Chain A
Amino acid sequence: MNNDIVIRVENLNKIYKMYRSPSERFKELLHPFKKKYHQEFQALKDINLDIPKGTIFGIIGQNGSGKSTLLQIITGIIRPTSGTVKVKGRISALLELGAGFHREFTGRENVFLQGTLMRMKRDEMEKHFDEIVDFADIGDFIDQPVKTYSSGMYARLAFATAINVNPEILIIDEILSVGDGMFQNRCHRKIEEFQSSGKTIIFVSHSLSVVTKICNRAILLDRGNILETGNPQDLVNTYKELMKEREKQFLKKY
């Protein structure tokens, strides 16, 4: 893989199999003639994508267009049905308003847990710890279980941790929408800092203004397909047009 590309997705397809019950899944496994007992939903169709190093890469699309599935496959949490994903470097991800925090653990314990997952040594993590706590601005709650946090606090700590564990690639899926304006600005500044040190960011959001503001490249996903790739502003315009069309058709029914 070319030095410049950190993520390469080739011919990626993801079909979800939906079973009405667990027993249907087993009937299928055991059936001698391979009879199907599931419904199929194709979440991603033949996705091809190259993300160069140092980009802030945006992904926009309606709910259900396949954005989260694509991210889950890139991070390795879910397997593709076919196709390949090649990733160069460690990924830190904030997926769908979660961060892989363990609810019973305190903020402090979770920060160190993330450090272990990123294969950081404990003393390295301790150096970063103060930075993380400062950025998150949650005060003494750092020693309270994460389940007691408000969604804003959770988001702040998650973001602070993810960006500070020094990944090569940072993935942000909708988590910033939980924060207030001040938080969003702080995050944007941090994202730009992060990018200028040569790191890559994948940014998924419904907030089109933010995408045009901070991303330098983007794709528009719709119903599992990439409709368009390129300049965020162009994409956003296409997306808005698409939404207008869809809404017209929806209203026609009534």
Chain B
Amino acid sequence: MTGEIPHGIRKIEAFSIFIEFMKNLYKDRHMITTMAIRELEVRYIGSLFGIFWAVINPLSQVAIYGIVFGVFLKIKPDPVFGTDSFILYLLCGLIPWQFFSQAATSSTNVIISNRNLIKKAVGFPSEVLPIITIISYIINHLIALVLLLIILILFNITLTPYMLFIFLYLFLMTVFTIGLSWIYASINVYMRDVRQLIGVLMLGWFFFTPIFYSASMIPPKLIPLLRLNPMYDVVEGYRYVLLAGKFPPIENLVCLILVSFITFGVGGIIFRRLKPGFAEVL
């Protein structure tokens, strides 16, 4: 790698990778949807509660964090979101977080666990494998969103059309997660430590995103830096559109779009570089 790649060129390459990628995705849509549904089946097939874990999981986490941070530590939600309820504040942050953390963690091992396909199937598009995992978690997330909607209604939050922007945030979060998982999954093939590192990384990441605490508790000078964490923007975005019924500050979307697409582009480049060696190393 020589020198600095100018910001503008990085963005153009990221965008063209994205277009090419969307075309391939569309072509393979049957295979992808079948494999994603199959992954969901495999995940819940032995379990008693099955797909309800998509709901039980966030609820139980909210209960735990709600008690510890809401009741013991008496943390108050950021007033900018227009609600006093710590539970709602927490839920709106926890649910997108769970999607991100589960999707990124699970997709780390996806190339290794599909070694048969990589080594035997001619022309198998391995870059699609993390996507399949991520799609299966999107389905989980959509179920959790239904739960969230029900709870919002129960708490008398007014439904506004701004809530539809959730899907924009979901889309951007997905783009980011795909880019990230390409990086982890491809490096993991060569260096299995990555899998362990992810666990540690996610833990730290969770604490640096204002999920169980309010951003107003952070020294204001540090906020622009924290905005580079896309999950900061996602969580803030979810809270703005669901709780406050309005649009977040423009820096929120600008940072999120930039970081997501750059990660997507860089991830794509790294994956492509490492992909030809997979069959040999596995």
Contact = CB atoms under 8 A, between A and B. Distances in A.
Interface in B105-144: 114, 116-124
A99 B34 contact: no
Given A105-B38, A112-B34, A116-B28, A99 B120 contact: yes
Given A22-B192, A78-B279, A113-B31, A104 B38 contact: yes
Given A72-B279, A104-B38, A116-B30, A91 B122 contact: yes
B190 A102 contact: no
Interface residues of B, number: 25
A79 B276 contact: yes
Contacts of B124: 100, 117
Contacts of A72: 279
B176 to A, nearest CB: 27
B279 A109 contact: no
Interface of A: 16, 22, 25-26, 72, 75-79, 91-93, 95-96, 98-105, 109, 112-114, 116-117, 119, 122
Contacts of B27: 119
A100 B117 contact: yes
B50 interface: no
Nearest to B114: A102
A126 to B, nearest CB: 12
A77 B120 CA distance: 8
Given A102-B35, A113-B34, 16 more contacts: A25-B190, A26-B191, A76-B123, A77-B119, A77-B279, A91-B122, A92-B122, A95-B119, A95-B120, A100-B117, A100-B120, A101-B116, A101-B120, A102-B117, A116-B28, A117-B123
B194 to A, nearest CB: 11
Contacts of A102: 35, 114, 116-117
A104 B38 CA distance: 8
Contact of A98 (B42, B120, B280): B120
Contacts of A16: 280
A98 B28 contact: no
B277 interface: yes
Interface of B (DSSP majority class): helix
A101 B280 CA distance: 19
Nearest to B32: A116
B30 A112 contact: yes
A105 B279 CA distance: 21
B30 A122 contact: yes
Nearest to A162: B122
A117 B30 contact: no
Contacts of B114: 102
Given A78-B280, A79-B277, A101-B116, A117 B122 contact: yes
A76 B114 CA distance: 17
A25 B124 CA distance: 26
A99 to B, nearest CB: 6
Contacts of B116: 98, 100-103
A75 B121 CA distance: 9
A125 to B, nearest CB: 10
Nearest to A23: B191
A76 B118 CA distance: 11
A22 B30 contact: no
Interface in B129-183: none
Contacts of A109: 34, 38
Interface in B25-54: 27-28, 30-31, 34-35, 38, 42
B120 to A, nearest CB: 4
Contact of B122 (A26, A77, A103, A105): A77
20 contacts: A22-B190, A22-B192, A77-B119, A77-B122, A77-B279, A79-B276, A96-B120, A100-B119, A100-B120, A100-B122, A101-B116, A102-B114, A102-B116, A104-B38, A105-B38, A112-B34, A113-B31, A117-B31, A117-B122, A117-B124
Contacts of A103: 116
